[in-house]
Every structure is written in structure tokens, then in C-alpha cells.
Amino acid sequence: MAIYRRLARRFGARHWWPAETPFEVAVGAVLTQNTAWTNVERAITNLRRARTLTPRALLRLPPARLAAHLRPSGYFNIKARRLRALVAWWARRGDPVVTTRHQPLAALRQELLAIPGVGPETADSILLYALGRPAFVVDAYTRRIFARHGWVSWDATYDELQQVFTRALPRRATLYNEYHALLVELGKRFCAKRRPRCDACPLRDVGTIRLEASAHALGITRRSI
């Protein structure tokens, strides 16, 4: 866990996902798709001020009104539809924090993926940050950071990238939570697409750690992750 420890020492505990409740985490997970979080906050603020930030209130909202609230987060028409679908599931399950507690992770993940507009990252974000399940979240920063260092291929699939972490780390939601949050922090500060600051990157010299002949396909040692 050389990389994780280095990030943790640098950035400290993130206690991540800027939201008040599990439901708000789920809402944010949809709204932040390919979108800056600051824009998502405005949309969530709109929902809160309209007192529609609950499953039933949100489902009562006419689609056009919902889209209007979501406008600042971009893709507002699509996201209105996706959010409605997710919230319909949420309401149908009662409170998923409780009702899914004994459901196997794989089955629950499949259930989320079946909701239109919920892809692998959104599903894993909800599983991890709303439901406390050990689902490692892979995002654009994760791919960019690891590919730039040459630790994974640029065209590794989501599942391959995820396995890099799940095979190397103890299966603990609290660890996955912190790790992903740390990668986002690192990504924002040092691994922007446009202006990367690789010179100052805390992982700069990790690249020189000798990667032992690897037991698994993607060439990273358990020790390094």
C-alpha cells in the first residue's frame, strides 16, 4: 500500500462525499456524471430550497420542473430522467440503507446497473458512499493517474481497473472510501487533463519503485497499491 499511504500522509483523512444523507449521496452520484462538483452543488441547493430533496417529493415533481432545478449541473434533461429512475428504485426499495443490508454485493450492484442512467461508476459510488459497501470506485482521475504513471494501460476497462485495487487491497469499505477520495484529491491538484503538475505530484517518485514480476495481469504489485 505504498501509494495509498503516501496519499494519506499527504492529504490526510478525507471523510468523503460532500452530502448530508445517503439519499443525497445517491442524487449527487447521478448529477456529477462528467460534471464539476460545484455545478452539482447548485442543483442540489435548488432541490433543497424547493423542499424536493426527498424520494417522494422528488417523484411528485413534474419532469420539466425537475429538469429546471437540475439546469446548473448540465445535461439537465437526461439527468432529470436518470435521477427519476434512480429515485423510483430508491422509493420502491424503501430505505435501501436498511432493506439492502443483507443482499449480496454482486446482486445489489446488478440491480443498480439495471437502472437506466446508472453505469459502473455511479453504481459503485452509491454502493460505497451511500450504502457503505466495499465497491471500489473507478473514475476518470483514477484512470488518468494510473495510466500516466504507466501502471495500467490507457484502454483498461472499468472492471480491469477496479480489479487492480480489489485484488490488492483488503476488502474494506472504509479503505475504499478513503482511497478513492484521495485519488480525486490528487487528481484535482496534480493530474488535471490540461495542466498536469507532474513535477509536484506526490507520486512522482513512486514510478521508480521497482515493480516485481506480477502475479496478476496488470503489472502492479500488491505492495505498491
Positions touching DNA (CB under 7 A) are: 16-18, 28-29, 32-39, 42, 71-79, 116-123, 125, 129, 139-141, 155, 158, 184, 187-188, 192-194
Question: Closest CB to DNA among 77 and 99?
Answer: 77
Residue 66: its H or E element: helix 63-70
For residue 80, the minimal CB distance to DNA (Å) is 8
Could you give the C-alpha distances from 222 to 36, 38, 80, in angstroms and in order?
A: 32, 35, 41
Sign of the C-alpha dihedral computed for residues 37, 39, 40 and 46 taken in this order: positive
For residue 45, the minimal CB distance to DNA (Å) is 11
For residue 158, the minimal CB distance to DNA (Å) is 7
User: In this structure, which long-range contacts are made by residues 54-63, counting pairs with CB atoms below 8 Å and at least 24 apart in sequence?
Assistant: 54/23, 55/23, 55/87, 55/90, 55/91, 56/91, 58/83, 58/84, 58/87, 59/84, 59/87, 59/88, 59/91
For residue 162, the minimal CB distance to DNA (Å) is 11
Question: Closest CB to DNA among 185 and 221?
Answer: 185
CA distance 109 to 112: 5
Question: Closest CB to DNA among 78 and 221?
Answer: 78
CA proximity to 184, closest of 5, 1, 17: 17
CA distance 89 to 102: 17
Could you give the C-alpha distances from 106 to 85, 123, 157, 171, 201, in angstroms and in order?
A: 20, 11, 18, 14, 35
Question: Closest CB to DNA among 79 and 133?
Answer: 79
For residue 161, the minimal CB distance to DNA (Å) is 12
Question: Closest CB to DNA among 26 and 224?
Answer: 26
Question: Closest CB to DNA among 105 and 221?
Answer: 105
For residue 212, the minimal CB distance to DNA (Å) is 29
